[in-house]
Amino acid sequence: MREITYREAIREALREEMRRDESVFLIGEDIAEFGGSYKVTLGLVEEFGKERVRNTPISESAIIGAAVGAAIAGMRPVAEIMYVDFTTLAMDQIVNQAAKIRYMTGGQVKVPLVIRTQGGGGRSAAAHHSQSLEAWFFHVPGLKVVMPSTPYDAKGLLKAAIRDDNPVIFIEHKLLYAEKGDVPEEDYLVPIGKANVKREGEDITIVASSFMVKKALLAAEELDKEGISMEVVDLRTLSPLDKSIIFSSVRKTGKLLIVHEACEQGGIGGEIVAEVLKEIFDYLDAPIERLAAKNTPVPFAPNLERFVIPQVEDITAKVKEILK
């Protein structure tokens, strides 16, 4: 199969959906000729024109507000917020408008809106350009939250998000854009709300998402040499959470480690722990562990940043500790 990057896969999803459906359009800062801060939308303005690849002022609240308004009036906007850190400026529109218009009007309207953004650390960008804020959105009824870890999933999930009639927060990871992987050229969807097993194993289940899936897979390769068999579950969608696949994996391995890049306190790890304890406590052979970023802002200095965000060696060490 053809290999393309995560960035190209996302661009291909946008291009295919814009060709398929005239109501799909892009709105965001510097997304036209400049191609977006991470060059995801590069070249799309040439094909679709400035009417459908709309450069905006630096006005995050207006970007999302306008996308919500367009969505409830018959369009299917894909809004780009350059960094997930900047969604803070649009939280009213995301939380009070996008997520609630349908409910508060008694189901009168659909809000087919995708908010593409990217997050995560690893580039010494400091705490205004490195956060992992998915738990905020995870907490809001009315939003779906998607975090793909591979080019294949990125294309299929974004196409599914664009066709979804609800607001979807689609969080990419800045360190994944150059990652390559197999991506079919033809049309396909990855369903929202379905996790998958990225590596099968027997001894322990790792639940991760986004860039942490890659780190978990690297850790699994390391530990395989030592005879430890790790199963890696990629959530892909955080909300709605695919509990069944987590449960079936933990029933098999009896041990669970949740890894995420967002800081530990209030992260989605706690929610997964609660669900597992409630539903399949009897299958556990060890306490559930979480490995997450430390409860600090993301620091600038490379060594500090590496210390705060979970690394491959942190995962291997934690797994060994649990299996000891």
Partner 1 sequence: MAEIKDKKLVEMYQKMLEIRYFEEAAMKLFQAGKLPGFLHSYLGEEAVAVGVCSALKKDDYVTSTHRGHGHVIAKGARLDKMMAELFAKKTGYCKGKGGSMHIADFSIGIVGATGIVGSGIPVATGVALACKMRRSGQVVACFFGDGASNTGAFHEGLNLASVWDLPVIFVCENNQYAESTPQREHQKIKDVSIRAISYGIPGLNVDGNDVVAVFNAARKAVERAREGEGPTLIECKTYRWMGHYIGDPAYYRSKGEVEGWKKKCPIKRLRKRLVEEKVLSEDETAQIEEDVKAKIKKAISFAENSPDPLPEDALKDIFA
- Of 72, 183, 216, 259, the one binding partner 1 (CB under 8 A) is 72
Active site residue 129: yes
Rounded to the nearest angstrom, the gap between the alpha carbon of residue 105 and the centroid of all alpha carbons in its chain is 29
Q: CB within 8 A of 111, min separation 6: which ones?
A: 68, 71, 72, 98, 101, 102, 165, 166, 167
Rounded to the nearest angstrom, the gap between the alpha carbon of residue 116 and the centroid of all alpha carbons in its chain is 9
If residue 89 lies in a helix (H) or strand (E), which one and from where to where? none
> In the window 38-67, what residues touch partner 1 (CB under 8 A)?
51-52, 54, 56-57, 59, 61-62, 64-67
Distance CA 70, CA 65 (A): 9
Q: Is residue 96 within the footprint of partner 1 (CB under 8 A)? A: yes
- Of 14, 32, 78, 111, the one binding partner 1 (CB under 8 A) is 111
Active site residue 179: no
Cα–Cα distances in angstroms (integers) from residue 166 to residues 104, 254, 269, 283, in the given order: 14, 36, 25, 36
Written as one string, the DSSP assignment of 260-317 is EEEESTT-HHHHHHHHHHHHHGGG-SS--EEEEE-SSPPPSSHHHHHHHS--HHHHHH
Q: Is residue 82 within the footprint of partner 1 (CB under 8 A)? A: no
105 or 248: CB nearest partner 1: 105
Q: In the bound complex, what is the minimum distance in angstroms from residue 176's beta carbon to partner 1?
A: 27
Options 121-129, 139-147, 150-158, 216-224: segment touching partner 1 (CB under 8 A): 139-147
> In the window 152-191, what residues touch partner 1 (CB under 8 A)?
165-166
Q: Is residue 116 within the footprint of partner 1 (CB under 8 A)? A: no
Binding site for partner 1 (CB under 8 A): 25, 51-52, 54, 56-57, 59, 61-62, 64-75, 77, 92-93, 96-97, 101-112, 141-142, 144, 165-166
The residues carrying an active-site annotation are: 60, 129
